[in-house]
Structure formats: C-alpha cells, structure tokens
Structure 1
C-alpha cells in the first residue's frame, strides 16, 4: 500500500481529472484541478496530484517562474546539476526563469502541490527510470 493515499481524495483542493493534456510530459499518472485560469491574470494556478512514482519531464519556464506549495504526500524536486530535494507538506519551492528542473512523487507515496506558474513551459526529456531510481529515497 502506498503512503499518503489520502492525497487521492484531495487534501485541500479537489484532485481534478486525469491530466491528459499534459500526459506526454509525465512518466506515470497525474491529475490536474485548475484553480485560476483568468486571461486577465498572467499567472496560472493548479492543484497537481501525482500517483506514486509519477514525475514530470525536465522542463524550463521561459519568461516566468514557478512556485510549488506542497500540500500533501512526499515527493522530489531537482534542478539540473543539483541533488534532488525531498518534499513534504508545507514545503515551498521557487523555480526561477530559465532553470531546468523536474518534480514528482516519491516512488512509494502519493504527492500533491499547488503550482503557481507564469511564462511558457519548455518541455524536455523524461526523467529516466535510472535517474529516478538513483535518488536517495
């Protein structure tokens, strides 16, 4: 049984639907509940939920940034050339413009964060199973 299964019921915000629109940029299953998508506001806000082992591809935010507010479960965040950071509820991550990174669930836990994003994402290669397995779980 995976840890933090309560996350799949939505900790603060609903889990949302299967994240089909972004599925090509994820390894595993994620879910997305859009919270703010106002064309008059240059920032999008969404609740992203990851099944155990799910992670997004390496990516860069161009002309913007991304803020992650971890609301449940356990996961990882890694910037290129740095060690992966273990994440749990209450953690906050700031990703600056142009920084290559990825984030996702621990292999044995559900994971959920609020993503506050500005700019345009540039999606890159997947985080390989080998890279992911080599994180100090």
Structure 2
C-alpha cells in the first residue's frame, strides 16, 4: 500500500547503495540467495529511488525480474522502452544488453533472479543516457 509520500512498501531491507560506476541515481541492493555450486542461482532485491536506473548490462545466462512495487522502465537494446509495474515479470535473455530502473516520479522495487551463475553473473557496461532514459 502506498503512503502519502509515494514511498514503496519495503519487503526486504534496503541494502547497500549501488556504485555510481553501475547506477545513475540512488539504487540499493540486498542479496537474498548467494550463488553457490548447489543452486547456481543469485537472487536479490533492488530498490530504485525515483529517476534511478542501472547501466546497460548483460547476463551470461539471462535474468528474471519480478516487480514487487512501484513503476519503472526496462529496455532491451534495439526495442522500445517498456513501462514495468508491480506484478510484472520481465525476462532478459542471455547476453542481451538491457537496463532497468525507476520512473522519474515513482520508485521501483524488484526481485532479480540470475540463473546458472557458473556461467557468470553480470557484465556492466556504459551508463544509460538521459535521452535513452526519457526515450527521446
């Protein structure tokens, strides 16, 4: 349930602030399932404050996002920016450049699932420009 000040309902602790090397704005990550040789899956929660977004990146085995609150954007390179919101599930194919983050006015909270971590977890790339974020 939203509060009067547009804050999101916290399901998990906010976690650590993401590096400015990989995020524009304030994004916070907490790992929930560490990758290991048994489950070979990483699971975590990211909270993006309004306007925050990831850099372009890829995952060797892909990524699944489950949006648990808020409103945001997701884009696979070469495709239009998609609006994502609570209840949406997004599949990012293996080795395909993409980014995701919050809308300008409302934050975004998402669970991420990275399978087959023995193949690698993430390859961070350049920042998403303001023009790309605004879909100009």
The question of a shared fold, defined as TM-score above 0.5 by the shorter chain, is answered with: yes
Q: Which deviates the most, 91-100 or 30-39?
A: 30-39
Task: Check the 8 A contact 1:3/1:110 in 2, yes or no.
Answer: no
Given candidates 38, 57, 60, the residue that maps to 2:58 is 60
Aligned to 1:51: 49
Aligned to 1:42: 40
Q: Give the Å deviation of 1:38.
A: 4.3
- Provide Cα deviations, 1:60-112, integer angstroms capped at 9, x if missing partner: 112x1100000000001100110011011000001111111000000111100
TM-score, scaled to structure 1: 0.86
- Provide Cα deviations, 1:20-59, integer angstroms capped at 9, x if missing partner: xx43110011111111014232110001000110000011
Q: Give the Å deviation of 1:15.
A: 1.8
Q: Give the Å deviation of 1:122.
A: 1.2
1:8-27 equivalences in 2 (<5 Å): 10=10, 12-19=11-18, 22-27=19-24
Structure 2 gaps of 5+ residues are: none
Task: Check the 8 A contact 1:70/1:87 in 2, yes or no.
Answer: yes
Residue-pair matches, total: 128
- Provide Cα deviations, 1:2-23, integer angstroms capped at 9, x if missing partner: 973134xx1x22222323xx43
TM-score, scaled to structure 2: 0.86
Structure 1 gaps of 5+ residues are: none
- Which is strand-richer, 1 or 2? 1
